[in-house]
Amino acid sequence: MASKGRDLYLISPPTPFTGVQRARDQALYSVVGAPFDSTSSYRVGQRFAPVEIRLASSQLESNGLYVEGDIDSVPVADEGDIAVVPGSQLLTLERIENVVAEIVGEGRVPVVIGGEHLVTLGVLRGFAKAGVRPCVAVLDAHLDLRGDYLGERYSHATVFRRAVEELSLKVFHLGVRAFDAEERSYADEVSLVEYITASRLEILGVDGAVVAFRRFASECKHIYLSVDMDVYDPAYAPGVSTPEPGGLTSKEGLALVSRLVDERFSGFDIVEVTPPYDPSGITSVLAAKTIQEIILASWASRSRGGRAR
Ligand SMILES: [Mn+2]
């Protein structure tokens, strides 16, 4: 079947995710890179993340940490990178939307490796185009709910404001610890949005946070996960665009993502790894492990026909 969008816009990866490649028609999970970083306000270089995370993934063993399973036996295809347009949010978002709409329309689960956080808007538009409206769990130090950022409506700092306004999606933020007053009051006032701050998460624990999310998402048919790597503490993930102290440990983050996933899980992205600021490569390694854990959790919940645990 001819597929205009991805044939035009996908560039083959030099190293596929996990090092094992499959044909896309035999896959359930489709990895695509979205190497866009034009709206970054501080450190830039997220465009290099898809390559570095794939490289890191090929060095990991194939077992999960909190989930039983072997990633090499899960049907994952790495479809390559979307040919983003540096400097143009609108063209880039349109390309991401088209690629993701095709993946979702063909019944596969998109695994999108950013890039900056704005790429998530293109992914969610792609879901909408395919007729799927997921509830979104966001792991992020920031709310990314600004009405505009320095006058710009399409920015890494506005991505969930646009998702709520344009697509009326329900959004639940976890690990938040940095925001401005306007976006905080927006989050407090708008019924589609809920959040758990990093300090609250410390009190609730991973289990309590998962219970809160399940209550929030009880009516949702589909669940989408968006992981900004700055949700982790900079001690564990120093190579991000806007590091913010007081975040999750690597074990807390991996436990949280593995438990947020259930049989309704429809896709996810992982964004904001900034390799030029990650000289030891540990942020890419943790990002690769996070992707592996999420895919394994989803695969386990599907094979059991139920929730991961
Ligand atoms: Mn973010």
What's the pLDDT at 305?
Answer: 58
Distance 277 CA to ligand 1 centre (A): 17
What's the pLDDT at 11?
Answer: 80
Sorted by sequence, the CB contacts under 8 Å of residue 128 that are 6+ apart come out as 167
CA torsion 238-242-243-244 (nearest 10°) is -170
Distance 300 CA to ligand 1 centre (A): 28
- Ion ligand 1: residue ranges with CB closer than 5 A: 117, 140, 142, 144, 228
Distance 193 CA to ligand 1 centre (A): 15
Give phi and psi for 219, each to the nearest 5.
-95, 0
What's the pLDDT at 12?
Answer: 80
User: Which two three-digit tokens encode residue 182?
Assistant: 């306007």
What's the pLDDT at 307?
Answer: 44
Distance 55 CA to ligand 1 centre (A): 23
Distance 2 CA to ligand 1 centre (A): 35
What's the pLDDT at 78?
Answer: 95
Distance 157 CA to ligand 1 centre (A): 7
Distance 276 CA to ligand 1 centre (A): 18
Distance CA 238, CA 275 (A): 10
Q: Rounded to whole angstroms, what are the CA distances from 235 to 26, 170, 179, 200, 230?
A: 39, 31, 21, 20, 10
Q: How would you write the pLDDT of the chain (309 residues) with one tens digit per residue?
A: 455 666 667 788 778 999 888 998 999 999 999 999 999 989 999 999 999 999 999 999 999 999 999 999 999 999 999 999 999 999 999 999 999 999 999 999 999 999 999 999 999 999 999 999 999 999 999 999 999 999 999 999 999 999 999 999 999 999 999 999 999 999 999 999 999 999 999 999 999 999 999 999 999 999 999 999 999 999 999 999 999 999 999 999 999 999 999 999 999 999 999 999 999 999 999 999 999 999 999 999 998 754 444
Distance 279 CA to ligand 1 centre (A): 21
Distance 242 CA to ligand 1 centre (A): 9
Distance CA 161, CA 189 (A): 13
Distance 176 CA to ligand 1 centre (A): 10
Prediction pTM value:
0.95
Distance 140 CA to ligand 1 centre (A): 5
Distance 145 CA to ligand 1 centre (A): 9
Smallest Cα–Cα separation from 143: which of 128, 123, 164, 127? 164
Distance CA 242, CA 225 (A): 20
Distance 230 CA to ligand 1 centre (A): 7
Query: Between 3.40.800.10, 3.40.50.720, 3.40.190.10, 3.40.50.920, what CATH number should domain 4-304 receive?
Result: 3.40.800.10
Distance 119 CA to ligand 1 centre (A): 10
Q: Rounded to whole angstroms, what are the CA distances from 298 to 69, 99, 136, 174?
A: 11, 21, 15, 19
